[in-house]
Structure 1
């Protein structure tokens, strides 16, 4: 049977980087909590019979967050053969808090003292042998980023797993607490699993509700245990869980005092940069300037130039393949399917790969250097004003790449109500799949202006804020925002390897989707738009798709795009948002995007863009919403809210634009005014008062 080794550690300790180098995997590396939401498995290099399980980054085994629940459930229920505990050598006190808990669980533990290069650069000295002796387990100095000490770590972890000898059981508390723990152990010894006995005893003393429920003790024993704990609380004049926390830190302080020699540092370069980047007045304007610059370069300069070249290449490919098929006397339907359906449709999406490449590169650089962690911290103050937790920014940041991991990272939010709200608003931030449509509208109707992309991005963020105000004032979702605590890593030069891996993963996922879902969708759309219900070829206006689109078109007429083709393109976006661009190409028979101005005006084109940015996300994201909500009713509510908001916002936008252009006040203008008034009421109404008992 394969050996299973769990990889556990604090956020920002380099855990995911370590997992990547240990397994040759390509999990995303980030500087914020919640990057690893679920355990991921990879095969340890040079050990084909050893699996490494990457657990979420946590600070303790107390079930306060979803990551902590995932980690402790895995350790207690799945029984790994050993644990590699990643400890940040440059911040050893905080990291050892988790170590003392892992040593109590009952498995062999090997400590990877990571970031030793950083600790040495800071002038710190760590006595490895003494630390190992006091903790009772192997301590291996490593640097995951520079891939140092990894062979020794693998060898020690595999040896510990196969030997199967657990550490001595974590830190020892004061005699009075140890006496109480011994008394509790005697009361649960026949119920708790012997392997985890020390962990169960400590958790019972802490009054851990989940553990107490799992033990299902008789009422008389529960009363005896409660009496033991209450007596300790009275003697220490503190709650039981706080007593254990203080005892752990006293033990860690004594341990570090004997094993670590600190070199006092003055103000670092990272601190000086933070004086500017996190300044209360400059932080947000700087963030806006940086994001505007990123989209400007991605859309209007480097990315735009490369996209134009790609578009010409695909148009040439269409011409060449058409000539080749005509020369081979291929049937008209075959030529149409291959050239107008598949190559033109998929090519319309692939032509935006250069812009995506530039965008993903900049986002990866900002992430890897440590800047994005600062933005999460800064945005906490802003989000709280709109009824959301600062942790809500993390899913929005992840969703700028893809909505699915963005929705999944909502698990880092402790409050269930805050989590539901964040899930509902996460996809308002434009993801990479929406960039082709943004670039299409900006390039064809607005002279390739970067301001279109920037405006869409900030409208998405504005909808997040306004939705927070609206949803927080509903009785079902009303609550106080959860606290946001995170560690900000030092600024550092981005790792070329990590950045390249991140960009490659995102681009590869985009291209694979183009070669599968979009390829299939283009073929189906071409068929439905070129065949009638009697399965005979016809022009698009009499096709199956025209009839279907004709039923939907009236719904979108007040939004500015009442033809059946845009209605159908919007519908196909449910499969994948990239489908919208490819669908327009297939339905209108373009071999490029230069003809879009014959379909949309700048106003209607922007309205079409805005609706598709805010409405229901793709099928993959809908599936993620269903999993995270855990309820079909809440999933339907989320999709209804997203689509309803998109319709109202686009309706007001288009009708206001028409009124400004023509000066005519029509019935639809009056409806837009009423919708705007209703939206303002929902935003500014008073929050419901809590029920009194």
Structure 2
């Protein structure tokens, strides 16, 4: 941990382990706090039964083993989103002994709403006022001791990025964890609601309803807020008591509606904020009137989110990302390619010629190596995306895109699923599909779900990087930028088509908080970059390795019959004999070498064509030929339905099997460029086809989970592939004329 915390950890006998939760609003710096505490000792997965990220980290403090649980960022503990529900369940399960509530000190009033709800649950809470440097710069002073007295909870100032206050907050959490659940915070919600709350509490306590799970008063509050999840739990626990409680809630809700023309939930929220206002005004918060918090963030937003300049700047930022990726990444990519080339040469030398050598060199190294060679470029892109996320600019992009999204029948919140899926390249459709759970409207969710596979996900990037670099070397960044924009354009146009036909429905309003601009910490950027790159590497070393071996087998068996192979072998042997007989400087030698290379290519191609994969590719080729795809490309596209990364690995294997000269092992890009069947038109058509056609198998499974039936999965496969085919044919035919 930063600030030398690890060096001060004790080494005495370990006491019982603790589970401490890390809670906070989005953009409060909670991720920085979690990374600072746990570093590389993190485990990332999903909460059981849901698709929200679950992060846990392990550390020790003075011999005490601590598991830190990073709860999803949430503004409250209602049940309006998956994140809120998951956070509430984790806290109420009884597995967490204390909570460190990370609050943005420069926006304390808003952040304290979550704090109040945690205290109403009876959770032992440490309030960590993070980003104190920003608060001070904005002229905000906070009396920590006085705030702690009002909340009856420890309050600690913190600047997580500099390590300030981290140890103090953790030590306070460990201290209060041993005290167990606290007496819940009891606020007054006015005479009408207070009377109802008292009646509900008495019924709950008498019945022992959900005892040990929820505090009676908190349970009563949730029932008055008409919380559907809590109501279902109450009915399941005791149907008779639930009926009595619901009768009280209905009577109270009707009275509040008639008296105040408002719902009980809004009245409860108003009183919570009233409590927060009162304590902040009572000597806790002091603002310097001479220092306006418009400061840097608001001044920057005047330009960066300007109706005219904002979108232009955003496009410039995205283009710059690609330019940096290609310019900086070209060197390490070349090193990785050379490394795999040397590895292939090594195994060719040490393994006897035959099936084992072919499997290792042509199947594993050519397949997986072709994908891993793009890791440096992808790491650079992930680092840049992480910088945009942590700096606060990503939220501005979503805000600006909402203006466009509404025109196409989508919600502004659809921006984040698109971005996560690869809207800025390098994402993944799987978490993108999961992110659609934040959309309240089922119709908007479905339209987003069916169109987000058009984004330039990390699995498609190797294809785009390969072809853009090979066929458009002078304009690779421009082509990549254009492919990304094409994904957005197709997604929006198809969404408009869907929202006007089979998924009609009313639009819902968009509300989003714009966090202040911050300079991301190097540790946070590197950790995000490593997490995503490691997932990519792990997939290449597991799923793609298996796919590469299966594809190699499909491309190798059955073997070409001896009678068909004999003429090729005889011709190759004759040419090798002629070559050996010629002196080193003979002019004829170059012609014989070229003829020998063509003979080997012809032999390799015929063997590949005779295999299972070759026959399948040949069968499909008449259909795809108008799009410029030959049978070897078709094999790669079929493999891409399993995983899009397999497109490059399969092409690497296919062209490796077609090139048998051990002294002339070219990178895949060079082989494609020298293939007479390939051109700029072919490359562009293939990039657009890969961009648009059927999502990968795992993404289809997640779409099924989120959409609710297999019909939409079939639609996604058939419609997307038909659209991809039509676009590829049009682009290829137009390209042949343009580049003739």
In the superposition, the TM-score normalised over structure 1's length comes to 0.87
Q: SS of the residue aligned with 2:68?
A: strand
1:6/1:569 CA distance change after superposition, 3 Å: same
2:265 equivalent to 1:241: yes
Q: Determine the structure 2 residue equivalent to 1:39.
A: 54
2:209 equivalent to 1:192: yes
Q: Determine the structure 2 residue equivalent to 1:611.
A: 689
Q: SS of the residue aligned with 1:575?
A: coil
Q: Determine the structure 2 residue equivalent to 1:670.
A: none
Q: Is the 8 A contact 2:224 2:253 kept in 1?
A: yes
Q: Is the 8 A contact 1:439 1:448 kept in 2?
A: no
1:650/1:143 CA distance change after superposition, 3 Å: same
2:287 equivalent to 1:262: yes
Q: Is the 8 A contact 2:41 2:58 kept in 1?
A: no
Q: Determine the structure 2 residue equivalent to 1:84.
A: 100
1:127 to 117, 135, 143: 143
Q: Is the 8 A contact 1:38 1:70 kept in 2?
A: no
Q: Is the 8 A contact 2:680 2:735 kept in 1?
A: no
| Of 375-384 and 573-582, the range deviating more from structure 2 | 573-582
Q: Is the 8 A contact 1:626 1:635 kept in 2?
A: yes
1:518/1:193 CA distance change after superposition, 3 Å: closer
Q: Determine the structure 2 residue equivalent to 1:99.
A: 115
Q: Determine the structure 1 residue equivalent to 2:158.
A: 142
1:512/1:211 CA distance change after superposition, 3 Å: closer
Report Cα offsets for 1:477-533 as digits up to 9, x if no partner. Answer: 222333322222222222111112222222222223333333333333223222217
Q: SS of the residue aligned with 1:430?
A: coil
2:720 equivalent to 1:642: yes
| Of 221-230 and 446-455, the range deviating more from structure 2 | 221-230
Output aligned runs, 1:540-619, within 5 Å. 540-561=608-629, 563-589=630-656, 591-592=666-667, 593-597=669-673, 598=675, 599-619=677-697
Report Cα offsets for 1:356-399 as digits up to 9, x if no partner. Answer: 23322322222222211111111111111111111111122222
Cα distance in 2 for residues equivalent to 1:636 and 1:110: 50
Output aligned runs, 1:277-356, within 5 Å. 277-299=304-326, 301-325=327-351, 330-356=352-378
Report Cα offsets for 1:418-475 as digits up to 9, x if no partner. Answer: 2222222222111222222112211222235222211211110011101210121234
1:41/1:540 CA distance change after superposition, 3 Å: same
Cα distance in 1 for residues equivalent to 2:561 and 2:411: 55
Output aligned runs, 1:614-633, within 5 Å. 614-633=692-711
Q: Determine the structure 1 residue equivalent to 2:452.
A: 426
Q: Is the 8 A contact 1:16 1:28 kept in 2?
A: no
Cα distance in 1 for residues equivalent to 2:245 and 2:522: 58
Q: Determine the structure 2 residue equivalent to 1:6.
A: 21
1:551/1:48 CA distance change after superposition, 3 Å: farther
Cα distance in 1 for residues equivalent to 2:508 and 2:54: 24
Q: SS of the residue aligned with 1:594?
A: helix
Gaps of 5+ in 1: 30-35, 663-693
Report Cα offsets for 1:239-276 as digits up to 9, x if no partner. Answer: 22221121111111001112111223334122222111
| Of 396-405 and 382-391, the range deviating more from structure 2 | 396-405
Report Cα offsets for 1:203-259 as digits up to 9, x if no partner. Answer: 222233433343234656533442234334434343222211211111110011121
Q: Determine the structure 1 residue equivalent to 2:396.
A: 374
Report Cα offsets for 1:300-324 as digits up to 9, x if no partner. Answer: x332344345434433443344234
Q: Is the 8 A contact 2:371 2:648 kept in 1?
A: yes
Q: Determine the structure 1 residue equivalent to 2:549.
A: 523
Q: Determine the structure 2 residue equivalent to 1:665.
A: none
Q: Is the 8 A contact 1:82 1:161 kept in 2?
A: yes
Q: Determine the structure 1 residue equivalent to 2:478.
A: 451
Q: Is the 8 A contact 2:20 2:69 kept in 1?
A: yes
Q: Structure 1 residue 175: deviation in Å?
A: 4.1
Output aligned runs, 1:396-411, within 5 Å. 396-400=418-422, 401-403=426-428, 404-411=430-437
| Of 564-573 and 135-144, the range deviating more from structure 2 | 135-144
1:588/1:207 CA distance change after superposition, 3 Å: closer
Q: Is the 8 A contact 1:136 1:168 kept in 2?
A: no
| Of 408-417 and 630-639, the range deviating more from structure 2 | 630-639
2:22 equivalent to 1:22: no
Q: Structure 1 residue 277: deviation in Å?
A: 0.7
Q: SS of the residue aligned with 1:163?
A: coil
1:71/1:417 CA distance change after superposition, 3 Å: farther
Q: Structure 1 residue 85: deviation in Å?
A: 1.9
Q: Is the 8 A contact 1:109 1:167 kept in 2?
A: no
| Of 478-487 and 167-176, the range deviating more from structure 2 | 167-176
Q: Is the 8 A contact 1:28 1:502 kept in 2?
A: no
Q: Determine the structure 1 residue equivalent to 2:540.
A: 514
Output aligned runs, 1:434-513, within 5 Å. 434-449=460-475, 450-475=477-502, 477-513=503-539
Cα distance in 2 for residues equivalent to 1:582 and 1:438: 13
Cα distance in 1 for residues equivalent to 2:498 and 2:482: 24
1:269/1:114 CA distance change after superposition, 3 Å: closer
Q: Is the 8 A contact 1:369 1:492 kept in 2?
A: yes
Cα distance in 2 for residues equivalent to 1:45 and 1:23: 10
Cα distance in 1 for residues equivalent to 2:540 and 2:210: 51
Cα distance in 2 for residues equivalent to 1:541 and 1:321: 25
1:355/1:178 CA distance change after superposition, 3 Å: same
Q: Structure 1 residue 186: deviation in Å?
A: 2.9
Structure having the higher Rg: 2
Report Cα offsets for 1:609-649 as digits up to 9, x if no partner. Answer: 21111122333333433343344343333333333332333
Cα distance in 1 for residues equivalent to 2:182 and 2:560: 72
RMSD (Å), alpha carbons: 2.8
| Of 158-167 and 433-442, the range deviating more from structure 2 | 158-167
Q: SS of the residue aligned with 1:7?
A: strand
Q: Is the 8 A contact 2:692 2:723 kept in 1?
A: yes
The structure whose RCO (Cα within 8 Å, separation 6+) is larger is 1
1:212/1:515 CA distance change after superposition, 3 Å: closer
| Of 506-515 and 45-54, the range deviating more from structure 2 | 45-54
1:4/1:420 CA distance change after superposition, 3 Å: farther
Q: Is the 8 A contact 2:43 2:55 kept in 1?
A: no
1:317/1:44 CA distance change after superposition, 3 Å: closer
Output aligned runs, 1:193-208, within 5 Å. 193-194=210-211, 195-208=214-227
Q: Is the 8 A contact 2:138 2:295 kept in 1?
A: no
Q: Structure 1 residue 167: deviation in Å?
A: 4.1
Report Cα offsets for 1:520-560 as digits up to 9, x if no partner. Answer: 33333223222217999982121122122233333323322
2:383 to 361, 367, 387: 361
| Of 380-389 and 37-46, the range deviating more from structure 2 | 37-46
2:79 to 63, 80, 101: 63
Cα distance in 2 for residues equivalent to 1:652 and 1:165: 66
1:550/1:507 CA distance change after superposition, 3 Å: same
Q: SS of the residue aligned with 2:178?
A: helix
Q: SS of the residue aligned with 1:261?
A: strand
Q: SS of the residue aligned with 1:63?
A: coil
